[in-house]
Structure 1
Amino acid sequence: MSDSTSIAAGADRAEDRRRDLRGAISAAAVDLVIERGLDAVTVDEIARAANVSRRTFFNYFPSKAAACIPDTPPAGRDAVREFLTDRSVSTMTALSRLMWHQVSNARRQSRAFDRFHDMWRREASVRTQVYEILACNEKELAALVARREGREPDSVEAATMAAASIAILRIAVERWRTDEPGSLLEYRIRESFDAIRGSVTEPTDVARGPAAPDGAVPG
């Protein structure tokens, strides 16, 4: 094994350890908050439950509320490639599929994802942190949209499409928060994007009514 390969393997292992530790802290936070409520839980208690120091806790999370929110890893390479290259659907449809894949992937990778839903139903106060995370994703989405559409990264078209998608995602997340246990965020995402597509569909000729005769002024 070459030195460069060994270094890469070591970096991968270190990243795996960081991800596992972050997940353990998040899982401990969610469990404690479900049991006692966010206001009744301290950072020190979360750190002890995760078997880490207070300092380590703050190396990973800025607050106990932030620790309750499981990581949502980036969409997989295949999903991103499909988004960038599949021209058989609109960009908005492609975005909804990309988000669906990302959330589905997060559910598989994080043991705290579904537990977070149970916690969030009771603790709406973490909404601010959730929306901050969504806002951080907006620039990444805009960059992907720009690549797909062949536009500049800071183009108004890419920025608007990304902002609209995040707004739709917020509606899906908020509706999911009030769902019964076992509800899948993925399907709330699909539902919200479908609602937008349905509302902006061009009316059919029948719905428009008969065309006015040549030279006539529509009434």
Structure 2
Amino acid sequence: MGSSTSEGQNNDRAEDRRRELRETISSVAMRLALERGLHSVTVDEIARAANVSRRTFFNYFPSKAAACIPDDFPQDREAVRLFLTDQSVPTLTALARLLWLQVAMARRETPEFALFHDMWRREPEIRPEVYAVLTRTEDDLAMLVARREGREPGSVEAATVAAASIAALRVAVEQWRSDESPALLEDRIRESFAAITQAGSLPPTEA
């Protein structure tokens, strides 16, 4: 028992160190890109400023554009646990809450998140990377939905719910990117999921 507990703690610490280094590289990449423009910044410059090797940079990110994305899903272990165990709300509602909590935690605990809105608006080169993150997130969400509902991984039901959630998230991200108001990404996520819920409650129209 003690050995497995110690091993788990070591794994958690190692994961925390990897996350901290990833966040450092991402923060440096965004700051340099915002100062000089992404096209004017090289991977070698980002690596030097983050005090890592070029090889280490590519261990964490496939490109400098990818380094300008705050993080991948999942991140908040407690939010994931809540999603998997709380059966008091429908799965789609639980997904909206999960994504809201993920973003809220990123805003609270990830220094570079505050820079992402400006980066998202100013650098069209990162748009494919943002959608690549959403695609990976969809796969993760489908697996979580399957676990929550006791379904087989890759089931049609889990894949459909995950796809609908990512569609809502994509709309929220795009609205936030072009937003001139002080609305937070969390606000846009809530609005997008509310729109799905409202549409689902409308009576069918006659042909």
Residues 57, 87 of structure 1: alpha-carbon distance in 2 compared, 3 angstrom cutoff: closer
- The structure with the larger Rg is 1
SS at match of 1:154: coil
Query: Which residue does 2:132 correspond to in 1?
Result: 132
1:10-21 matches, cutoff 5 A: 10-21=10-21
Distance (Å, rounded) in 2 between the aligned partners of 1:185 and 1:82? 21
SS at match of 1:87: coil
Residues 161, 9 of structure 1: alpha-carbon distance in 2 compared, 3 angstrom cutoff: closer
Residues 20, 42 of structure 1: alpha-carbon distance in 2 compared, 3 angstrom cutoff: same
Query: Which residue does 1:201 correspond to in 2?
Result: 201
Query: Which residue does 2:68 correspond to in 1?
Result: 68
Using the TM superposition, name which of 180-189 and 108-117 deviates more: 180-189
Deviations 1:82-123 (A, max 9, x none): 323433332211111111111112222210011111111101
Query: Which residue does 1:44 correspond to in 2?
Result: 44
Preserved CA contact (<8 Å) 2:145 2:158 = yes
Query: Which residue does 1:175 correspond to in 2?
Result: 175
Preserved CA contact (<8 Å) 1:75 1:101 = no
User: What is the TM-score of this pair, normalised by structure 1?
Assistant: 0.83
1:65-214 matches, cutoff 5 A: 65-72=65-72, 74-180=74-180, 183-203=183-203
Distance (Å, rounded) in 2 between the aligned partners of 1:108 and 1:56? 26
Distance (Å, rounded) in 2 between the aligned partners of 1:103 and 1:167? 16
Distance (Å, rounded) in 1 between the aligned partners of 2:3 and 2:158? 41
Preserved CA contact (<8 Å) 1:29 1:68 = yes
Cα deviation for residue 28 of structure 1 reads 0.7
Distance (Å, rounded) in 1 between the aligned partners of 2:181 and 2:24? 22
Preserved CA contact (<8 Å) 1:83 1:98 = yes
Preserved CA contact (<8 Å) 1:26 1:68 = yes
Using the TM superposition, name which of 59-68 and 171-180 deviates more: 171-180
Cα deviation for residue 31 of structure 1 reads 0.4
Distance (Å, rounded) in 2 between the aligned partners of 1:110 and 1:27? 9
Distance (Å, rounded) in 2 between the aligned partners of 1:13 and 1:158? 32
Cα deviation for residue 57 of structure 1 reads 1.4
Distance (Å, rounded) in 2 between the aligned partners of 1:73 and 1:168? 16
Residues 155, 107 of structure 1: alpha-carbon distance in 2 compared, 3 angstrom cutoff: same
Cα deviation for residue 5 of structure 1 reads 5.6
Distance (Å, rounded) in 2 between the aligned partners of 1:149 and 1:68? 34
Cα deviation for residue 179 of structure 1 reads 2.2
Distance (Å, rounded) in 2 between the aligned partners of 1:149 and 1:8? 27
Query: Which residue does 1:24 correspond to in 2?
Result: 24
Cα deviation for residue 23 of structure 1 reads 1.1
Distance (Å, rounded) in 2 between the aligned partners of 1:33 and 1:200? 42
Preserved CA contact (<8 Å) 1:173 1:188 = yes
RMSD value over aligned CA atoms? Answer: 2.4
Residues 182, 34 of structure 1: alpha-carbon distance in 2 compared, 3 angstrom cutoff: farther
Preserved CA contact (<8 Å) 2:74 2:80 = no
- Could you tell me which runs of 5 or more consecutive residues in structure 2 were left unpaired when the two chains were aligned: none
Using the TM superposition, name which of 147-156 and 25-34 deviates more: 147-156
SS at match of 1:23: helix
